[in-house]
Amino acid sequence: MARRLAAGVVLTASLAAPWAVAGPVVQTFSGNLDDSGNAALVWADLGTAQFSPGGDPGDNVAIYTLSLPTASVVTFKSTSAGGGGILAYLSLFDAAGGLAGSSYADTVMNGVDFDFSDSLAAGIYRLALSANQNFSYAENYGSGTLADGFLAAGGVPFGDFGTLGDYSYSFTAAFAASSPTTVPEPGTAWLVLLAAALAGSTSVAARRR
């Protein structure tokens, strides 16, 4: 009997455990729009990137891939302008190239390093990092995809928001590593305990017979 009670206590404790949530994943993306060694860069037309002194690095775009294993709220945060680099503009595209979000409010309306969150479904996303005003055609015209390219307007002043700095950029994407682990609700826990108790009493009665 004591052994059965001890097992019941252990079972109760395990069923009462809170949901287990894995810690966040933080991915960092950094580089320079004027760095010929930066493999993430393409030009505004998605062709070959351009560099100083003959090209226009302000119109280059860095494209990265973000893979979400589960649906998650993803927080995107830039430190570019504050660190002496570009006033960065971030555009999010889904696996089909459709526009899923952007840093318009922070970058264009307020002229600050972006810091925003978006609720995204599981899947593959493309993160396009450009200078302010170098919008994708998909966003500027309200239709199209990533494949249509960008406006080639990087660094064009918008009020006081036209900085290119030293062409450097850095931003992070933070999201949950996995979904919460499901545990039985309290009512389910009691049903499990009741079933275990009934099974124990039945075996005792059988032995007595």
SS3 sequence, 64-110?
EEEEECCCEEEEEEECCHHHCCCCEEEEEECCCCCEEEECHHHHHHH
In this predicted structure, what is the pLDDT of residue 181? Answer: 43
Residue showing tokens 């039945």: 202
In this predicted structure, what is the pLDDT of residue 193? Answer: 47
Instruction: Report residue 96 as tokens.
Output: 């089909």
Mean local confidence (pLDDT), 82-100: 96
Tens digits of per-residue pLDDT, 107-126?
989 999 999 999 999 999 99
Contact 188, 119 (CB under 8 A): no
CATH code for the structural domain at 24-176: 2.60.120.380
pLDDT, averaged across the chain: 81
pTM: 0.74
Mean local confidence (pLDDT), 165-171: 96
**Could you give the CA distance from residue 124 to residue 119 in angstroms, rounded to a whole number?**
14
**Could you give the CA distance from residue 131 to residue 187 in angstroms, rounded to a whole number?**
55
161 or 86, greater pLDDT: 86
2 or 92, greater pLDDT: 92
- Nearest alpha carbon to residue 74 among 103, 108, 98: 103
**Could you give the CA distance from residue 34 to residue 45 in angstroms, rounded to a whole number?**
16
Contact 23, 178 (CB under 8 A): no
Domain spans of the chain, in order of start: 2-17+185-208, 24-176
